[in-house]
Amino acid sequence: MKALLCDHAGPPGELTLAQLPDPVPGPGEVVVAVAAAALNFFDTLIIQGRYQTKPAFPFSPCAECAGTIAALGDGVTGWAVGERVAAWLGYGAAREKVVVPAEALVRVPGRLDDAQAAGLFVTYGTAMHALIQRAKLKAGETLAILGASGGAGLAAVEIGALLGAHVIACASSSEKLALAREHGAQEEIDYAQADLRARLKSLTEGRGVDVLYDTVGGDLAEPALRSMAWEGRYLVVGFAGGDIPKIPLNLLLLKGCDLRGVFWGDFVRREPAAHRRNMERLLDWAAAGRIRAHVHARIPVESWTEAYALIAERKAQGKVVLTF
Ligand SMILES: NC(=O)c1ccc[n+]([C@@H]2O[C@H](COP(=O)([O-])OP(=O)(O)OC[C@H]3O[C@@H](n4cnc5c(N)ncnc54)[C@H](OP(=O)(O)O)[C@@H]3O)[C@@H](O)[C@H]2O)c1
């Protein structure tokens, strides 16, 4: 089988496409024939040894995938060969076949194709956890999202709108903002053109935003924090802009607001029951057609460098997916 492999820390061009023997499922495991494996921003970091998770070499990138069950290990019940499934592995999904514990599988609703299903876990899982468990977002609250057309940002636009928030999309171009609007945002701010703080203030009539979902960090963080409402919750989700901001703590005092960290991967490990409830709710929405799961590009695994470039060059909107 084909496998995209990282055998040393380096840029995407130094990954290789190798042939490996097909895997065999152990007890309680299944083999999934992967149709699509989704890339996330952290895939650009993990192959360079610049991410918090540092897998042993050689490993395959891609944290999540979708496809069909190809084989069942001993003791697996409730699943059949040929069923459409998706799974989150953490890393290692960029292979034609992967071994997955049966308990980690979810069934893919008929409305979603493989590329859409492959990208459901990290971005929507993060948005669900951030907005439900961390922000405790309430209907009618204002929710501003930095990086609103990226994978994690666009998922938050959709989930925020489904939870009844007034969603303000913030991104770096009118094209990216148009996509966020199609996915449920009611207001928009182009932070490449406009002053973020002034616009957030005017859109909230001076009150400030209740929940701020930040996937970008860098220079946007401080003006965003200065735009919080009393008892607002600022969600630290990611640093796609590259720089980890240093925050003057007096702002939290003056605003009476909270800074809340979001770490979806650890949430899954520490609170599996809450994670399962989030995923069930998400899959119900997906089955009812209430989740759009926008895929920016479906790229054959042989052209993986093109897929990585879309993310690294800030061109991706929604998900970038490798196909097999
Ligand atoms: N905490 C968690 O559990 C968790 C889970 C998932 C993701 N994350 C993090 O969230 C961040 C976003 O992830 P993602 O998968 O949504 O990424 P993505 O799809 O690539 O989106 C990132 C967004 O950040 C903005 N951006 C600003 N400067 C950028 C730069 N120099 N390079 C690339 N993008 C830049 C872009 O929007 P504009 O052009 O509009 O600014 C882009 O849409 C990453 O830091 C990721 O590690 C964290």
Written as six digits, the tokens of 1 are: 């089988």
Q: Specify the CATH architecture of the domain 123-264.
A: 3-Layer(aba) Sandwich (3.40)
Q: 41 CA distance to ligand 1 centroid (A)?
A: 6
pLDDT at position 60? 98
* Cα three-residue angle 287-292-293, rounded to 5 degrees: 95
Which residues does the chain have with pLDDT short of 70?
A: none
Cβ distance 142 to 166 under 8 Å? yes
Q: 311 CA distance to ligand 1 centroid (A)?
A: 8
pLDDT at position 108? 95
pLDDT at position 102? 96
Q: Was domain 2-119+293-323 assigned CATH 3.90.180.10?
A: yes
44 lines ligand 1 (CB under 6 A): no
Q: 243 CA distance to ligand 1 centroid (A)?
A: 12
pLDDT at position 80? 98
Q: 6 CA distance to ligand 1 centroid (A)?
A: 22
What ligand 1 atom has the least distance to the C-alpha of 155? Answer: 16
pLDDT at position 79? 98
Mutate to test the pocket of ligand 1, among 43, 131, 134, 215 (most ligand atoms within 8 A of CB): 215
CA nearest ligand 1 atom 29, residue: 241
Q: Return all residues near 313 (Cβ < 8 A) that are at least 6 apart.
A: none
79 lines ligand 1 (CB under 6 A): no
**SS3 at position 118:** helix
Residue 231, Cβ neighbours under 10 Å: how many? 11
pLDDT at position 22? 97
pLDDT at position 285? 96
Mutate to test the pocket of ligand 1, among 39, 40, 41, 320 (most ligand atoms within 8 A of CB): 41
Report pTM.
Answer: 0.96
Instruction: Residue 305: name the closest of 39, 101, 107 by CA.
Output: 39
Cα 257 to Cα 66, 139, 158, 230, 232, distances in angstroms: 39, 19, 24, 6, 5
Q: 239 CA distance to ligand 1 centroid (A)?
A: 7
318 lines ligand 1 (CB under 6 A): no
pLDDT at position 235? 98
Domains of the chain by residue range:
2-119+293-323, 123-264
pLDDT at position 125? 97
pLDDT at position 68? 98
